[in-house]
Chains A and B, each alone.
Chain A
Amino acid sequence: GAGVSQSPRYKVAKRGQDVALRCDPISGHVSLFWYQQALGQGPEFLTYFQNEAQLDKSGLPSDRFFAERPEGSVSTLKIQRTQQEDSAVYLCASSFSPTAGPYGYTFGSGTRLTVV
């Protein structure tokens, strides 16, 4: 597609509910990144894929967070047993470069998750 597509745009979850957030990167982009952005802060790294391999998941806040990219294209970020502190905008980004380097990422518009 022309850009990075994320769905849903908005998600309201009851505390304890599981959620799945989808990211469709730009076709041909080998690298895919997930970031979490809390209100008034910059994006915080969660995890990173190169094709289907998850190369870094050091930013995932707990074992309730899980990400996958089984065929090296679409990725899903799953959050189990959501808690109020999980409320944030979840941003997906992709890049043709393995490390994004000087060219930057192309971000999607994000999924705003609100846990009530």
Chain B
Amino acid sequence: DQQVKQNSPSLSVQEGRISILNCDYTNSMFDYFLWYKKYPAEGPTFLISISSIKDKNEDGRFTVFLNKSAKHLSLHIVPSQPGDSAVYFCAAPNAGKSTFGDGTTLTVKP
């Protein structure tokens, strides 16, 4: 049972436009949700998080939205830049370990 799911393996957007990456979860007990960004041959890098008691968290070009009733979160990147091209993972920590989705590969075209 995959508790955190990213249903879109890939996304391609034009530079300057909005990128929206989606994530669904099944466990209502998660306290936080995190997004990581991963470049090839590197480890994932923490990007942004949101508490389960909030519905939005913003950090510069990155905003994460949480819809608890739908058990859905999304990461918005505005404006998208070519350097944002990477694999994005959503993750939920629980009792010392984190459950990750399988990732979405974002390609931002110049």
Q: Which residues of A contact B (CB under 8 A)?
A: 4, 31, 33, 35, 40-45, 48, 50, 55-56, 59, 91, 93, 98-110
Q: Is A101 touching B41 in the complex (CB atoms < 8 A)?
A: no
How far, in angstroms, from A21 to B101 measured CA to CA in the complex?
A: 25
How far, in angstroms, from A40 to B31 measured CA to CA in the complex?
A: 27
Q: Which B residues lie within 8 Å of A102 (CB)?
A: 32, 34, 49, 51
- The 8 Å CB contact of A101, one of B31, B43, B89, B99, is B31
Cβ < 8 Å to A, chain B residues 1-47: 4, 6, 9, 31-32, 34, 36, 41-46
Chain B count of residues within 8 A CB distance of the other chain: 27
Q: Which B residues lie within 8 Å of A107 (CB)?
A: 36, 43-45
How far, in angstroms, from A67 to B68 measured CA to CA in the complex?
A: 37
Q: Is B103 touching A42 in the complex (CB atoms < 8 A)?
A: yes
With both chains docked as a complex, state the minimum distance between the C-beta of B75 and any C-beta of chain A, in angstroms.
14
With both chains docked as a complex, state the minimum distance between the C-beta of A69 and any C-beta of chain B, in angstroms.
14
Interface residue? B93 (CB, 8 A): yes
Interface residue? B102 (CB, 8 A): yes
B47's closest neighbor in chain A, by CB?
A104
B43's closest neighbor in chain A, by CB?
A107
